[in-house]
A and B are shown apart, each in its own frame.
Chain A
Amino acid sequence: MSLLRRRTVLGGALGATLAAPAVHAQSGGKPYNGVTINASCFQTTYYEYLKNYFPEFQEKTGIKVNFTMQAFPVYNQRTDLELSTKGSAMDVCNVTFIYSGRWIGAGWMTPLDQFFKDPKYTPADWDPDDFVAGAQSAMKNAKGETFAFTHEAGAMLNIASRYDLIEKAGLKMPETFDDMIKVCEAVDGKEGVKAFVADKLHHWNWIPYLMGNGGTVFKAPPENLTPTFASPEGIAAAQWYADLLMKYGPDGQLSYSDDQAMRAQMSGRANMRTQAITWGVPLAKDPESKVAKTTRFALMPAGPKGNFPGSNSHGLGIPAGSKKKEAAWEFIKWAFSKETIGMIVDKHGYPAVCRTSVIKSPKFKEVLTLNGQDVAALYLEVLQLGGKSGYMKYRTVPVFPQVGDKINKAIEKIATKQQGAAEAVKQAQAEAVQDLQKAGIKVDL
C-alpha cells in the first residue's frame, strides 16, 4: 500500500471516528491537544505494527500514546496488581482472556457502552456488532455490558506439520477422536517424526477432549461453579489424553512451552498439534520452518458428544481508575476501526483479527490461504462456534486460573504414571472444591 493510500485510510478512519464531543470543536481539529494516555499490553504483533502509526493518530487527535508492551506473564502480574488497587497509571489496557472474568467481575474495568452507544463519541459506521460474537463474549458481563473490544482471537485447529506422511499412509486429517488415534498409530515415528505434540498448558489443550467426551469443567458457568471434571467421562478423557501424549509425543514434551511445541513442529520433529491458529501460521510462513510446504490445517477432531475447539480472545479496555477515559476511547476506536485493522492486515498480514468484515475480506483470505487451503474460513467457523453455544464460559470465570492449575497437575500425574486417572482427577477436583470454598464460592456437591 502506498504512503498516500495509507494516510488516506488512516485519515478516513479518524475522520469517521472523530465525530467527537463538543469540547472537540476547540483547538482546530485536535480535540485532545496535549493529552497523553498510557496504554499497555503483552507483547503481540498487532501493536508492534500499530505503533508505527501512533504519530498519525497524534497528528489527528492531539493524543500522545505511551504504549508499553511486556512479556505475557509480566504484563498479567503487573496489570492485576494495578487494577486491583484501582490505580490511574493506565488509561488503556489489554483485557487478558483468562483474567477477563476476574477483572470485569470485580468492577476494575469501565463499561464501554457509554461510549460506543453514544453517537457523540462513536459514529454508527464504527459498527460494534462487526466484532465476532465468540471473541467478544469474554469481554462482557452477565448484564451484557461490554468492557473491551478484541484485537486478537485464538481459534483451536488441528495443525499437521507433515500432512504428507498422513497422505502417504492413505489417511486424511482426523475428524474424530478415533480417527486421531488411527492417524497417530499409522504415522508415529515415520521419518523420525512423532505423531503428536502438545505444550504443558493442559487446562487449555485437554478441555476440548474432555467436552468432546461429554465432560465439563464446571456445572453451569458462570452461575454455578461446582467443579465437575471428575465425572466418569472426565476420567476417561484424562486417561485418553495422557495416553495420546505419552504414546505419540516426543520425549520431554510434558515440560514444553507453547513455543517449544511449535518449534518441534517447525523443525519437523512432531506432526499434529491441536492448538490456536497463532501457533500454526508460523509453520507455513516462518522462514525458519522446515515444514512450510507440508503444513495442513483442519477443524479440531470431534468426540462422541461433539466438537468443542478452544477459542479465546484478548481486547483493549479502559481501567476503572483511568482519569482520561474519553481520550482512551478515542484510541480504542481508532485502533480497532475497520479501516485500521484492514490496513494492518493489508500491509502486515496480521492473521488473528476479530472483525467479521475484515475476516471475510479478500485480503484476509489471501493472508490465510496457506498451501492452497482457506484457513480463514476455519478460523471464523471456530470463533463463531465458541460464541454460539457459550461452552468457553468456563475459562473466563474468576476462579479458573486456580482450577486450571489443578487440572495441569492431574494430567501430568496420569501421564507420568504417578497416579491412576481416576485417583488424579478426583484429587484435583477435591482440591479445586477446597479452593473455591475458601474463596467463598458456593459449591453444591
Chain B
Amino acid sequence: MQGLAIVLALLALAPFLWLLVMSFKTNAEIFRFPPRLFFPATLENYAALWTSEFRTSFANSLVVSVSSTIVSLVVGVPAAYALSRWAGRGGGTITLWILASRMAPPIAFTIPYFLAYRYLELLDTLTGLVLIYLTTNLSLVIWMMRPFYDQLPRSLEEAAWIDGATMWQGFTRIILPLSGPGLAATAILCFLFAWNDFFFALILTRTEAMTAPVAVVNFMNYEGWEWGRIAAGGTMIMLPVLVFSFVVRRYLVSGLTGGAIKG
C-alpha cells in the first residue's frame, strides 16, 4: 500500500519535477533528444529572471496576494461570525446573495470591470487588483468561516460576556483563537486564488501592476519561446505557495474539514 502511495505521489509530482529540472537547463539541453539524466546545471535562467521585469511582477504578485488575503480576512471573518450568530430571519438569504459574486464566470464581468476601472483610473494599479480579488474572495471567506462559528458553542462567548467582556472582546479573545485552523485554510485559499489568477491580471494590468503569471507568458516571444525562463518563472511562482502551505500545514487538513460536520 505504501509503495502504491509513493508511486502515485511520484506520478502527481512528475510534472513539477520536470519543470524544476528544466529550469536548470539551457535551451539546447532542454531540446536534446534523447534527454540526459545528468547534465551540467545552470542558474542562468534564474539570473535572467532577476534582471528582467519578472522581478517587479513577482513583487507585485506578493503585494497583491498578501494584501487581498489580509483585507478579505479582516472584512470577511467578522461578517461570517455575525451571520453565524444572526438570530433573526434573513441570515441565510444574505449568505446566499454574498455567494452571487462567484456564480458567474469571471469573463462575464470583463467589459464592465474594464470600463469601470478605466473610468476610476484603477487600470494597471495594485489597488485595482486587490479590490478585484477582495470582491471574489470575500464570499469564500464568509462561506468557509461561517460553519466554523456555527459549530462553536455559544456558551463560550456568553461566559466571557458574564465575566465582563464586550462582544468584540469575546470575538477576538475567545472565538478567533479557536478558529485558527479555519483561518489558515481560508487564508491559503484566498492567497492561492489571488496568486494564481491570470485572467484579471491580464485584462486589468499593463506594465506597472503586471503579476508573475502574466510575466511568465511574456517569455513566449513571437519569434521563439524562452523555455528555460518559462520553467524558472513557473518554479518561482510555485515557491511561495509551497512555503505558505508548509507553514500552515498543521492547520490545513483540520481547517478544510473542520466546518464540514456540525458537532
The answer to whether A binds B is yes
Chain A residues at the B interface, C-beta cutoff of 8 Å: 42-45, 68, 70-74, 77-78, 81, 85, 87, 89, 257, 259, 262-264, 266-267, 269, 278-279, 282, 288
Structural contact, A267 and B224, CB atoms closer than 8 A: no
CA distance A259 to B223 in the complex (A): 8
Structural contact, B207 and A43, CB atoms closer than 8 A: no
Structural contact, B224 and A262, CB atoms closer than 8 A: yes
Structural contact, A263 and B31, CB atoms closer than 8 A: yes
Interface residues on B, range: 20 to 34
The smallest C-beta distance from B252 to any residue of chain A, in angstroms, reads 33
B33 within 8 A of A: yes
Among A42, A43, A71, A257, residue most surrounded by chain B Cβ atoms (within 10 Å)? A71
Known: A78-B202, A85-B114, A85-B118. A72 touches B32 (CB 8 A): no
Known: A81-B114, A269-B33. A72 touches B224 (CB 8 A): no
Structural contact, B110 and A81, CB atoms closer than 8 A: yes
Structural contact, B217 and A71, CB atoms closer than 8 A: yes
Known: A78-B202, A81-B114, A85-B118. A43 touches B27 (CB 8 A): no
Among A68, A78, A89, residue most surrounded by chain B Cβ atoms (within 10 Å)? A78
Q: Which residues of B contact A70 (CB under 8 A)?
A: 218
Known: A44-B223, A74-B214, A278-B223. A81 touches B206 (CB 8 A): no
Known: A43-B218, A71-B218. A78 touches B223 (CB 8 A): no
Contact with A along B191-225 (1 / 0, CB 8 A): 00000000000110011000000100111111111
Q: Could you give 11 example pairs across A and B, Cβ below 8 Å?
A: A42-B222, A72-B221, A72-B222, A81-B203, A89-B118, A259-B220, A262-B224, A266-B31, A269-B33, A278-B223, A288-B28
CA distance A269 to B34 in the complex (A): 10
CA distance A266 to B223 in the complex (A): 14
Structural contact, B224 and A282, CB atoms closer than 8 A: yes
Structural contact, A71 and B221, CB atoms closer than 8 A: yes
The 3 closest A-B pairs by CB, nearest first: A259-B225, A43-B221, A263-B31
Residue of B nearest to A43 (CB): B221
CA distance A71 to B53 in the complex (A): 13
CA distance A203 to B111 in the complex (A): 29
CA distance A44 to B32 in the complex (A): 26
Structural contact, A78 and B203, CB atoms closer than 8 A: yes
Q: Which residues of A contact B27 (CB under 8 A)?
A: 263, 288
Q: Which residues of B contact A288 (CB under 8 A)?
A: 27-28
Checking B203, B219, B227 against A77 with a beta-carbon cut-off of 8 angstroms, the contacting residue is B203
Additional A-B contacts beyond A71-B219, A85-B115 (13; CB < 8 A): A43-B222, A45-B223, A74-B218, A81-B111, A85-B114, A85-B118, A87-B118, A257-B225, A259-B225, A259-B227, A266-B31, A267-B31, A278-B223
The smallest C-beta distance from B29 to any residue of chain A, in angstroms, reads 10
Q: Which residues of B contact A45 (CB under 8 A)?
A: 223
CA distance A78 to B201 in the complex (A): 11
